[in-house]
Structure 1
Amino acid sequence: MAASEPSVPAAAPAPRLQAVGFGAPWRWLAAGARDLRAAPGIGLFYGLCFWGMALLLGAVFRSLPEYTMSFISGCFLLGPFLAMGLYESSRRREAGLPQSLSDSLTCWDQHLGSMGMLVMVLVVMELLWGRASLVVFAVFFDTGMPSTTHVMAAIFNPRNWEFVAVYTLVGGLFAALVFSTCVVSIPMILDRDTDAITAGLASLQAVSERSVPMLLWGALILALVLGSLALPLACGLLVVGPWLGHASWHAYRGCYGTATGR
């Protein structure tokens, strides 16, 4: 009698992209606001973290303006990972599980391999942008490095219009790459324990195949963040940061349904 062959576990089904309507980002924001109201203490903790990042960024802008965009891209890199605790809070609320700050702070420990790979990719992007930022300053800035007291006047000097155009274009490209890579990949790893490559490709697919609502989503994120930074001492981030974190979980759920629960 032939020996039975060892069973091979079935491969996890590939995540399937859902239909996403143009108005979906507004529903994601509404759902994020409900999650924030349901766990205000968790939201306050992460809001303080985002606010601290903004204060640090302001200090860099005043003392080392040529590194400002590098630090902004670093915040784009760190922000999604910091928001992972907010994704976990929203995931647990959706699954009917109790929420706690300790659970949100330790949710990454089961996904170290996948998260580590994604971190490496984003760190490479950050290093490339840091180098590109300095090159753009060196090549296109026509009035010498700006002083700490006249940064904006120097940057928007008419002689530096080429610098502003190139800097905005290159910075926007790197920001778009980070957004496209992270917009659903990190919550997907948290929810499905997906490997980093699958999650990153799924995120890129969501942006490329649902480009109109995802562009609106990116524009809403940008507008809310800039609006919160415009308030005194950037205090708006205390609310906007955790709100967008919760809403980003719902953006993932809107793009890729079913799962949730471990």
Structure 2
Amino acid sequence: MKQVYTLRINAKENIGINEIPTEQVWQWLAAAWKDIQQAPGQSLFFGTSLTLLSIVISVGVIVTGNFYLLLPLLAGFLLIAPFIGIGPYSISQQLEQNENSSLKVASFAWSRNSLQLFSMGLVLLVSFIVWYMLARLIFFSFYDGQIPSDWQGYIAVVLGSWEGLQILTVGTFVGGMLAIVVFAFSAVSIPMLMDRPVSFISAMRTS
């Protein structure tokens, strides 16, 4: 890959920024599939854990009757996904270094640069909270009727009314803009914090 420029982090360390061609994405996906094949048990563990967490969130929202929060919470779940990905990142890193993949090592991968990774996690958590508050604001700005108490009522409001269409349109736009910002500063920062002893601010700048 062609190096575009160098980002100066501090007096001792410079980070080379590489140009990434479009076809590189397919190479990443192929490498990810290869990692899954080499570490199926660990991959299944993390995949199942994320799936169960999503189900718990969904069930919690449905049981409490807060159906209007279901889509925002599931969408917001993606904002903290880079931090949750620490485990799978570690599995791939172990395989890249020709080591035996260890679930224990992957589960405690955050301890390598714990303070900075924890700080980065807080940034993502704040982003999630901001999105949650914006989602509530958007919903109640366009909908002033009675909050649906069942699933059918929620679907009718969201998909069968003018207010619901406005909520979906504005919510998708606002959520998309926030997701772009979060992705921009987190896509590279989490793997970088696992690989180098840099601060989370430096990692966000690099990302």
With structure 1 as the length reference, what TM-score do the two structures score? 0.68
Residue of structure 2 in register with 1:165 after alignment: 169
Instruction: Give the one of 152, 157, 174 matched to 1:154.
Output: 157
SS in 2 for 1:17: strand
Alignment of structure 1 residues 1-262 onto 2, 5 Å:
11-60=11-60, 62=62, 63-141=65-143, 143-150=145-152, 151-160=154-163, 161-203=165-207
Q: Identify the structure with bigger relative contact order (alpha carbons < 8 Å, sequence gap 6+).
A: 1
**Contact kept in structure 1, 2:67 and 2:151, CA below 8 Å:** no
| Alpha-carbon distance in 2 for matches of 1:181, 1:69 | 24
Unaligned runs of 5+ in 1: 1-9, 204-262
SS in 2 for 1:189: helix
SS in 2 for 1:16: strand
- Amino-acid identity (%): 27
162-171 vs 98-107, which deviates more?
162-171
**Contact kept in structure 2, 1:60 and 1:68, CA below 8 Å:** no
| Alpha-carbon distance in 2 for matches of 1:193, 1:65 | 43
**Contact kept in structure 2, 1:39 and 1:99, CA below 8 Å:** yes
Specify whether residues 164 and 74 from structure 1 end up closer, same or farther in structure 2 by C-alpha distance, changes over 3 A only.
closer
Q: Give the counterpart letter for 2:44 in structure 1.
A: L
Q: Give the counterpart letter for 1:138 in structure 2.
A: F
Specify whether residues 146 and 48 from structure 1 end up closer, same or farther in structure 2 by C-alpha distance, changes over 3 A only.
same
**Contact kept in structure 1, 2:61 and 2:67, CA below 8 Å:** yes
Give the aligned length: 194
CA-CA distance at 1:60 after TM superposition: 4.3
Could you give the per-residue CA deviations for residues 76-119 of structure 1, whole angstroms, max 9, x where no partner exists? 24422222111111111111222110110111112111112212
With structure 2 as the length reference, what TM-score do the two structures score? 0.84
Q: Give the counterpart letter for 1:103 in structure 2.
A: V
| Alpha-carbon distance in 1 for matches of 2:60, 2:71 | 10
CA-CA distance at 1:147 after TM superposition: 3.4
Residue of structure 2 in register with 1:233 after alignment: none
Could you give the per-residue CA deviations for residues 162-209 of structure 1, whole angstroms, max 9, x where no partner exists? 222111111212222222222111011101122101111111xxxxxx
125-134 vs 56-65, which deviates more?
56-65
| Alpha-carbon distance in 2 for matches of 1:149, 1:52 | 21
CA-CA distance at 1:130 after TM superposition: 1.6
| Alpha-carbon distance in 2 for matches of 1:100, 1:186 | 19
**Contact kept in structure 1, 2:193 and 2:200, CA below 8 Å:** yes
Residue of structure 2 in register with 1:209 after alignment: none
SS in 2 for 1:21: coil
Q: Give the counterpart letter for 1:177 in structure 2.
A: V
Q: Give the counterpart letter for 1:51 in structure 2.
A: T
**Contact kept in structure 2, 1:146 and 1:155, CA below 8 Å:** no
